[in-house]
Structure 1
């Protein structure tokens, strides 16, 4: 039986558990007592072996301790000796450092003198060589060896730079400039011939000559000059074809820039691509500059005529301007009659031409993707430059266009200053025109936003917002004027004979209207609420959409202009590294807006501030519009309320002066009631009107609740108007009651019946009975001789004291 000693070293060792485990491992046939005895014997033997081993190892360790102590003492002595040696070496180094510094300073002075002497020697050699070169340069030119002449002139330039500004060599300096110009002129025709005939090696050699004498600008000039002539012929092809078509002939058809420009760009792109491929072989070090410079020169040369052609092309899409041969710029400058306006077709034609140029610019950007950023930017800006005069006045163009389009909407219809027709036909027609105009105007505004993105890339978003705000102000002002006209159509603000206006609203109609016609006015007025609701909701949705567009522009322009996520606190506009290369994201997203904003950091900063503000939910893209929409809604509510309350106002007019209030009971031999058992006609007509009003509001509810989600809101809206009219009717009635100076018993009883009827109508409409009206009813229905006791009774707390006192004065009851 083997004994595992590893368990004895465990920190959680338990003797009982170990014994139990040992017992369980015995053979089932072995007696437990024998197994325990064997286990005890083995443990005792192992213990004795361990004890003996421990004693032996302890004795050996004791013998090694003196030897280790001697080793430690020896190591300490060696360390002290080493420390002293190191200190001595450090002291010697410090002494050597002082003496070597003086030696080094002396050597430095000697080296400086040596270098100066060498420079003087070289300068003397250059001066001697310069004199020799100056005397032999004419022979070199006479030999016709242009590369040798270039090398000679380069050496002369080097020698002149070495000798500096020395008066003795001033003539040689002038001679060198003349000789460089002379060599430049000699190379020009040869280089032109090499470029024209695609002589790659020859062109490389002459290019080397120009570079050797520092005339790279001449290389650019000659290269562009060779190619500008055929390219200008491509551009002038349009004029020649126009002149050909000007000759009367059945076969000749007029050609427009819209149809000709794509073919011009295709031919130009093909020419540039071919030159790019050849220049890679002929000028491998310079092709990234030469070819873009060629395109830049071409666009700069034709820019003036390009603008004129664009202007004329926009006029051809509208017969009126085509007859005058005047385009957008002429209209904006006032060179045409005032009746001629910028139309959507003008802008669409301009945008179509701009899209053609944009396609060409993207192809050029792809072709020149290897070029330096600065060169690429300058080239693309030259491509787009003809459109710059139009973009700078884009806000004015949109303002004129939208103003003309919105001004052309027939909003007034049959509105006149007097009521004509029956059943409010003209009111309904005008309101219908107003309501239908709102989505039309929103569509026009959305189209303007889309045009701004397509034409300027959003760089004129700030000007567009100002134009949109002004146009909406113009439109809402027109709606406000129509509302003023509708007051007369609805019979409001009409002064009848002997009546005066109160609070801007007439107290009586000039002509009595039929019930059917009055309800037609009510329906027409309620339709105006739909106009207000549509204007409010659609303008809010449009403004939210405009904010989303501005936020999207902020992201796109930030990538294009800044090359990465924008940090508007940085001073630079384009993220360019030391080599002049744009980041991958910036180069891929470079567009027309970025090209414009790069050159105008102030405008870019202003635009980005606006775009950053648009991310705030509280931001109003159209602040004036938001205010005017709210004012229009208030005006509509005022007009609708005046229309709904007008019948009530008419019926309650002069109620305080009715003769029934002061009538005296007639003497009769029969016992008859002293008052009518029925309410009077003025109050019943008002009650019937109020009870019928909810039915008139149902079409309004159906019109507003376009979905089930809005049903509750629409119902609440109708109920609110119902309560508003009922409260207004009650207020008018109580105002008339306060105007009664004296009332007899018969009048008091009749008035209490009238008030009771009106109270029942209000209850039917779920309206609470005002305490003042309840006080009138209580005090008027009480007999005159019991009125004083009523006021002194416990029920006095339910009455309105001022009203109760007023009724007592009306009934001549002395409360003292």
Structure 2
């Protein structure tokens, strides 16, 4: 037989099925015979299937009339049932309308009955209250505290039922006095039972206090009895010192105290779980809260005594091994470890109860957390005073470059140290306050950065005389006809050429300092924004598991301070904006320092040009008389004077001087990006100095009063040389300088033509100025 199941599967492949059947034949069997047998079997199977299908179809056709009769009968039954239900609903509505009046009458009767029963109970309770008032003294005299508690509880219940009946107005006062009397009788015996740890007696007294509604008395008495040994542990520190701190330091003693407290609490927890199976957690929590409250003042005093020497040193800018905030933070970390152990110990407590416990544990530090901004400023000021930022001292010629290099290196090394101080401050803020005082942190960081940049500005001022850019040059002396200088040109001329190179290299490092400070501050601010964003998850109500958020330090501090929580949430929300400046004033001051550093670098780089061009306008060569030439000698082009060739040589060496700094001014990791950024930096500063030199030169040319033909020829050669230098530096020659070049190189007639119709490539005011210099009339 053939297995027909494969034919009904999805994706049935006839070819594959036939091939599989062929592969299954016996090796000795003929393939053609096997295929013939397989075809016959399939044909027989198909005939069987067709016959079965025909039989089933015939049977189905015979069952259809019977099914139609069943459906018709069910439809008739459904119509009959609907008619019956409608009749029943009509009868119910009729009965409801007829019995409505009877039901209302029964309701009024029931209300009267209830009132009569209440009145009967009230009268009964009033009678019982009178009887209880008469017998209560007898019960107290018997000394049976359980019976007395029951009597007072019955009196309280009866009094609540009677209400404000004038006859029983005095009973309420008497009942309170009797409850206080019983409470006092229980307290004495409860104290002895708690001291001797008598479980059954304590449970009996607890039941009595619960009966008269004085459970708080049990908590207070338990806390009062168990507080004494814990307080003795705290007071042992006073006995270990002589009052002047010669004993063990508090910061070393505190972990021992916490360990002993934890051990005591564990023992109390085991005993309370046996004695008070329902409310043991509440009793232990109150014990710890009362303990911390009783030692809070002393705790704060010991913290103050620990940090007082540090505050004194900070005030007088002395070096500290442990600044005040660090000492407080070390103590706080010890307390945090204790708080974590308390959380594990009180795992059965609810979150509200745990919140009260943790607030009590951290309560001695609350005053310091409120003063966190002040303490952080003291800490950062101490850190800032440790930076070596003293100004430069002007040394003799030959050693200025060394002084400049050392000073700039100190400035450069101080930047990463400052950022490290700031990162430590952020860590201290979150460890100490959980980030709840982040606003005070930002103010402290901002003020410290302002103080730091002020110190950098002072250092920059001290560098100016070292670099030789603060000298006021004497402009009364004149250059010789060949352009050589015959005056002592101040600091810049006195510095040897090899030291000029060192000074330029040293002052260029200021750009690295400025770039490092600006870049690191930007990275730090971005990191600070990320830190503030993460703080959002620690605020109450900001997470789905809001109950757990209560256990964060930030959540504990702001939970009862809605205004503080609102300000903190607003600050955190602002921090999500990438444009938000956490240190707004500091960013401005850093920008001002960057500008000042760039200005000093520019002044140093342009100072040599400024010296060479100091007296160009007053040089006598421009109006020197024409020498008589008795011979008809050919006229040769003038050579540029030394003042302009020295400027050109200096500008051409700028790329070489800027090259060592290009790698230090880049932030990319790949070599291609480093080369590109370095070239961009060098080109930028080269263009800046060249443009400044050109502007200075143009100003000096404008100052020339008389320019004869020989002077014009010489000036044309000088300008042409400088234009060639600018072209070699891949710079465009300014239109003003190009106009000077064309006008001084032209003949008088050509100059007059220039003045009549100024072309698009000439500057009109410059043409008229040259005409005035050369005394060419302008119509």
User: TM-score, normalising length from structure 2?
Assistant: 0.84
Partner deviation per Cα, 1:233-283 (whole Å, 9 max, x = no partner):
11111111113x87xxxxx96211111111111111111111111111101
Partner residue, 1:436? 413
Q: Distance in 1 between matches of 2:257 and 2:80?
A: 95
2:559 to 579, 585, 598: 598
Partner residue, 1:255? 248
Alignment of structure 1 residues 665-704 onto 2, 5 Å: 665-672=626-633, 677-704=638-665
Going from structure 1 to structure 2, the CA distance change for 1:79 and 1:150 (only over 3 Å counts) comes to closer
Partner residue, 1:776? 740
Q: Distance in 1 between matches of 2:403 and 2:751?
A: 54
- SS of 1:405's partner is helix
- SS of 1:599's partner is coil
Partner residue, 2:459? 482
2:674 is equivalent to residue 710 of structure 1: yes
Deviation at 1:696, TM superposition (A): 1.7
Alignment of structure 1 residues 526-545 onto 2, 5 Å: 526-545=508-527
Partner residue, 2:202? 203
Deviation at 1:352, TM superposition (A): 1.0
Q: Distance in 2 between matches of 1:499 and 1:469?
A: 49
- SS of 1:653's partner is coil
Are the equivalent residues in 1 in contact too, given 2:398–2:496 (CA < 8 A)?
no
2:766 to 803, 808, 813: 803
Q: Distance in 2 between matches of 1:78 and 1:302?
A: 88
Deviation at 1:480, TM superposition (A): 2.3
Partner residue, 1:285? 278
Are the equivalent residues in 2 in contact too, given 1:395–1:467 (CA < 8 A)?
yes
Alignment of structure 1 residues 513-524 onto 2, 5 Å: 513-516=494-497, 517-524=499-506
Alignment of structure 1 residues 140-539 onto 2, 5 Å: 140-243=139-242, 254-315=247-308, 345-415=323-393, 422-496=399-473, 510-511=490-491, 512-516=493-497, 517-539=499-521
Q: Distance in 2 between matches of 1:497 and 1:554?
A: 64
Q: Distance in 2 between matches of 1:785 and 1:289?
A: 111
Going from structure 1 to structure 2, the CA distance change for 1:162 and 1:441 (only over 3 Å counts) comes to same
Q: Distance in 1 between matches of 2:319 and 2:404?
A: 32
Are the equivalent residues in 2 in contact too, given 1:665–1:674 (CA < 8 A)?
no
Partner deviation per Cα, 1:193-223 (whole Å, 9 max, x = no partner):
2222221122111110110111101101110
**What do you get for the CA RMSD once the two structures are aligned?**
3.9
In structure 1, list runs of 5 or more residues that go unmatched. Answer: 1-26, 30-41, 247-251, 322-330, 332-336, 501-507, 567-574, 576-581
Partner residue, 1:33? none
In structure 2, list runs of 5 or more residues that go unmatched. Answer: 1-33, 37-46, 478-487
2:776 is equivalent to residue 813 of structure 1: yes
Q: Distance in 1 between matches of 2:188 and 2:651?
A: 101
Going from structure 1 to structure 2, the CA distance change for 1:594 and 1:81 (only over 3 Å counts) comes to closer
Partner deviation per Cα, 1:670-721 (whole Å, 9 max, x = no partner):
4456677421121111112112222221222243247634332122111110
Q: Distance in 2 between matches of 1:168 and 1:359?
A: 61
Going from structure 1 to structure 2, the CA distance change for 1:97 and 1:522 (only over 3 Å counts) comes to same
Partner residue, 1:758? 722
Deviation at 1:382, TM superposition (A): 0.6
Q: Distance in 2 between matches of 1:535 and 1:83?
A: 91
Partner residue, 2:481? none
Are the equivalent residues in 2 in contact too, given 1:341–1:400 (CA < 8 A)?
no
Deviation at 1:509, TM superposition (A): 5.8
Going from structure 1 to structure 2, the CA distance change for 1:704 and 1:81 (only over 3 Å counts) comes to closer
Going from structure 1 to structure 2, the CA distance change for 1:521 and 1:108 (only over 3 Å counts) comes to same
Going from structure 1 to structure 2, the CA distance change for 1:672 and 1:410 (only over 3 Å counts) comes to farther
1:767 to 710, 728, 731: 731
Deviation at 1:477, TM superposition (A): 2.2
Q: Distance in 1 between matches of 2:81 and 2:681?
A: 103
Q: Distance in 1 between matches of 2:261 and 2:741?
A: 95
Partner residue, 2:133? 134
- SS of 1:736's partner is helix
Going from structure 1 to structure 2, the CA distance change for 1:28 and 1:591 (only over 3 Å counts) comes to closer
Q: How many residues align?
A: 725
Deviation at 1:496, TM superposition (A): 4.2
Q: Distance in 1 between matches of 2:190 and 2:576?
A: 58
Going from structure 1 to structure 2, the CA distance change for 1:115 and 1:654 (only over 3 Å counts) comes to same
Q: Distance in 1 between matches of 2:160 and 2:305?
A: 56
2:610 is equivalent to residue 618 of structure 1: no
- SS of 1:242's partner is coil
2:111 is equivalent to residue 112 of structure 1: yes
Q: Distance in 2 between matches of 1:348 and 1:183?
A: 53
Deviation at 1:614, TM superposition (A): 1.8
